[in-house]
């Protein structure tokens, strides 16, 4: 009995003759050249052919890459991943799994992180897809690298906003919340989680000259309203009690104890300029209901501290003191 097996993919042909127990076989290539001759039982011959096929695949298998051969021009401005170790003629090694943009295109070869790569080894480099295409204007990153190959204006942990792509040099132009701009590589940053909430915090910090980092907390920040709120009155003593991740913190009046959630876009830092234009020696009238166990009615300013005033006067029980403390927004200047 004669049996012939055809492999359409490779063009090879296995031709067998004999009985199940004793057979002879020839493995032919696509030009009918004899590659291997075998003798043995039917199962033994098939097992041997299988082993030969697996060995041949291991020897000839190339790193998974592109259908068409790569040329040096393909690597210009690219970002690559090393698929297996590459050793150059000088003994320098570019290690597997390395991801880099440090590529110089030479006359015939490539210089990748100071390792000379010959054309025969181009297939061991995988060109990664352009991440820039997926980076949107305004996207936030956290700087994760303090050991770059270039001078870095940002510290590790700073939050930066992506502005635009650069055609040459470092690909990402970014800015921090203090207005410092610099181009970065993708290796130096990580996309920040909770883009929406952190974007509100970034904008608030940018407007108020606060450096926004991973550790920046707005808790206990003294704030003022930039527009009226239906939920809380700006009495000059508002403080962020809880820095919520959604960019809508919970603020509390230190005078009244009232609290409300207010978006950061409606808040600004409370400064001395937000307080009334008072000075020591001014005569004032304390607003009715805003005495806060201090001077009532007419009083004299004896001191000013961080938006609060120190008053000389008499409280509702007739007690006199030169050290009553109230918020500047709770008094009205007389004359």
What pLDDT does residue 16 have? 74
- Distance of alpha carbon 298 from alpha carbon 296, whole angstroms: 6
For 73, residues 6+ apart whose C-beta sits below 8 A from its C-beta are: 105
Burial class of residue 149, CB neighbours in 10 A (0-12, 13-18, 19+): middle
What pLDDT does residue 27 have? 76
Sheet containing 2-6, strands listed edge to edge, beginning at the edge strand earlier in sequence: 2-6, 13-18, 23-28, 34-40
Asked if 286 contacts 326 with a C-beta cutoff of 8 angstroms, the reply is: yes
What pLDDT does residue 299 have? 93
- Distance of alpha carbon 265 from alpha carbon 274, whole angstroms: 17
Asked if 253 contacts 232 with a C-beta cutoff of 8 angstroms, the reply is: yes
What pLDDT does residue 59 have? 46
What pLDDT does residue 88 have? 92
pLDDT mean by block of 10 residues, the chain; 335 residues: 65 72 75 75 73 58 54 79 91 90 87 92 82 76 83 91 81 92 88 92 94 93 87 84 91 85 92 68 88 92 86 93 88 76
Burial class of residue 168, CB neighbours in 10 A (0-12, 13-18, 19+): exposed
Residue 239 pairs with which residues in a beta bridge? 222, 252
What pLDDT does residue 131 have? 54
SS3 of 264, please? helix
Asked if 301 contacts 310 with a C-beta cutoff of 8 angstroms, the reply is: yes
């Amino acid at each position: 009995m004669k049996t012939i097996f055809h492999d359409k993919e490779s063009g090879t042909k296995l031709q067998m003759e004999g009985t199940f127990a004793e057979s002879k076989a020839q493995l032919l290539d696509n030009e009918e050249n004899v590659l291997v001759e075998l003798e043995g039982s039917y199962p033994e011959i098939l097992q041997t052919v299988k082993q030969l096929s697996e060995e041949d695949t291991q020897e000839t298998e190339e790193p998974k890459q592109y259908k068409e051969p790569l040329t040096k021009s393909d690597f210009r401005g690219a970002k690559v991943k090393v698929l297996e170790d590459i050793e150059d003629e000088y003994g320098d090694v570019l290690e597997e799994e390395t991801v880099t943009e440090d590529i110089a295109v030479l006359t015939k070869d490539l210089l990748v992180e100071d390792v000379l790569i010959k054309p025969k080894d181009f297939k061991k480099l995988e060109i990664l897809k352009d991440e820039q295409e997926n980076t949107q204007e305004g996207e936030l990153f956290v700087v994760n690298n303090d050991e770059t190959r270039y001078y870095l204006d940002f510290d590790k942990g700073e939050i930066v906003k992506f502005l635009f792509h650069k055609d040459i040099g470092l690909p990402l132009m970014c800015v921090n919340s203090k207005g410092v701009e610099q181009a970065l590589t993708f290796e130096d940053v990580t996309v920040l989680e909770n883009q929406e909430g952190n974007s509100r915090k970034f904008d608030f910090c940018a407007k108020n000259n606060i450096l926004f980092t991973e550790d920046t907390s707005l808790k206990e920040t003294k704030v003022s309203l930039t527009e009226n709120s239906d939920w809380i009155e700006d009495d000059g003593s508002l403080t962020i009690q809880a820095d919520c991740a959604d960019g809508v913190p919970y603020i509390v009046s230190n005078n009244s104890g009232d609290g409300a959630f207010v978006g950061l876009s409606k808040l600004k830092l409370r400064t001395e300029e937000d307080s009334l234009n008072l000075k020591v020696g001014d005569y004032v009238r304390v607003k009715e209901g805003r005495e806060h166990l201090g001077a009532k009615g007419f009083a004299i300013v004896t001191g000013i501290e961080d938006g609060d005033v120190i008053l000389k006067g008499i409280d509702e029980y007739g007690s006199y003191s030169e050290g009553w403390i109230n918020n500047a927004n709770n008094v009205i200047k007389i004359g």
